[in-house]
Amino acid sequence: MTYSKEKIGRLVEEARVHRSVYTDPELFELEMDRIWGHSWVYVGHESQLAKPGEFITTTVGKEPVILVRDKADAIHVLYNRCGHKGSKVTARPCGKNSVFRCPYHGWTYQLDGKLQMTPHKIGYENTGFDPEDPQFSLRPVARVASHRGFVFACLASDGPDFREFMQDTIATIDNMVDRSPEGEVEVVGNCLPYMHDCNWKMFVENLNDAVHPMVAHASVGKATEKLMKSLPEGTPYPPEAEIIFPFGSAYDLFDSMKVTTMPYGHSYMGGEQSIHTGYSDIPGYFEALVAGHGEDKAKTILSRNRHNTTVYPSFTIKDAVQVIRVVRPISVNQTLIQSWHFRLKGAPEQLLHRTITYSRLINSPASMVGPDDWDVYSRMQESLQSNAAEWVDMHRYLGRDELVEDSDLKRAPGTSDLTMRNQYQAWLEYMTVETAA
């Protein structure tokens, strides 16, 4: 261990961070334990496990886990590690099982993780082996919580409970689900995976970085504008143009959207207004929402319009678009981003079409926007290895944050670096809390 509490403390200043936070494999391993092992990390959505026995596999930090619904309809998050020799009991991304059976020696587990059977029992007689001992089961993670179907896990038994941890980000999940006339959402299809050649924090910082779109995404913004201007007057803009064009907006628009931060590193941009506000109405949707919730509530739901909400470190959500992007760190310089898409139950199918179109245009490796970001992340990851300079800057709008009355929230113009400074305060708290001096 070469990182003392004091040494880690010297990596983060008020408005800059040391480049090693993105490049040092030892810091990455510490993050997996101290941040990803102690925060609430998004695992999956209950609609992916609609029936007993259905499961998905994923990771919490670097820990492989299984999210499964048992025969009594209870949800479990289990470490994907056989209690015998340690093999993953399943390598499938999703499926439906009546039990989990290890492919190595055939130890078999119930859906709640309890050891059900070991083959060739006579060899264990009078050895002191106790099949009831929990160490031989599929171990559950320390804590699991679900909010409106969104399941999070915490590997540590101590620390804030789920609601305290989530802060005001719960309102973004609620808004997305309330946009369903039936008040429920469901995952559609598999995720859209996008491997990034960068440290996980570069992606998380980008979510509410509003100084980059008009530069990094300028070409697609200009091309879309040219197309829109070429249309005969009165012609409705194609839905694809409505989605892409705002990415080329000026600094003023993003400043007016404002960013809001909260404890534990979370943040969101927008609120009443965002780059998603100007989308055309979808026929029949408002009427369905009114039928489900009443007119007043329907109007309130649609008036809330956040851009990206970041639940640090793992989960980012666009309520107005019904897309989440989930962060799965692989190594210090590799991060898998998974985009998942949701159907608003009871809403016209055209809404889901827009959700998928959004991801194809913005989030996909083959999109017109995502690769712009991928390119700059890769450049940063490479050049931060250079000895040219030691620090990465976060000075924009420093010292001009507003405190939101009667809350822990801070607010600043949309192009502020406040969200990054807030993330690094959380990073520092996680990374130094258990370190020996």
Which position has the token pair 């993105």? 22
List CB contacts of 24: < 8 A, sequence separation 6 or more.
332
Between the CA atoms of 318, 320, 321 and 323, what dihedral angle is there, to the nearest 10 degrees?
A: 30
Q: How far is the CB of 52 from Fe ion (least distance, A)?
A: 41
List CB contacts of 380: < 8 A, sequence separation 6 or more.
22, 198, 202
Taking CA atoms, 295 is separated from 91, 242, 289, 298, 349, in Å, by 47, 26, 8, 5, 21
Residue nearest to Fe ion (CB): 373
User: Smaller CB distance to Fe ion: residue 242 or 373?
Assistant: 373
* Residues contributing to the site for Fe ion (CB under 5 A): 373
Alpha helix segments (H runs only) across 184-329: 200-206, 213-216, 218-230, 239-244, 251-257, 285-293, 295-303
User: Smaller CB distance to Fe ion: residue 319 or 373?
Assistant: 373
Taking CA atoms, 232 is separated from 205, 239, 281, 422, in Å, by 40, 16, 21, 46
User: Smaller CB distance to Fe ion: residue 178 or 373?
Assistant: 373
User: Smaller CB distance to Fe ion: residue 207 or 336?
Assistant: 207
Q: How far is the CB of 216 from Fe ion (least distance, A)?
A: 5
**Sequence letter at residue 43:** V
Q: How far is the CB of 254 from Fe ion (least distance, A)?
A: 12
Q: How far is the CB of 202 from Fe ion (least distance, A)?
A: 11
Q: Supply 326's token pair.
A: 């989930």
Taking CA atoms, 356 is separated from 189, 240, 283, 286, 350, in Å, by 10, 11, 18, 20, 10
Q: How far is the CB of 63 from Fe ion (least distance, A)?
A: 29
Apex 195 CA angle, 193 and 198, nearest 5 = 145
Apex 23 CA angle, 20 and 24, nearest 5 = 75
User: Smaller CB distance to Fe ion: residue 366 or 433?
Assistant: 366
Q: How far is the CB of 372 from Fe ion (least distance, A)?
A: 6
**Sequence letter at residue 63:** E
User: Smaller CB distance to Fe ion: residue 59 or 309?
Assistant: 309
Q: How far is the CB of 295 from Fe ion (least distance, A)?
A: 36
User: Smaller CB distance to Fe ion: residue 31 or 373?
Assistant: 373
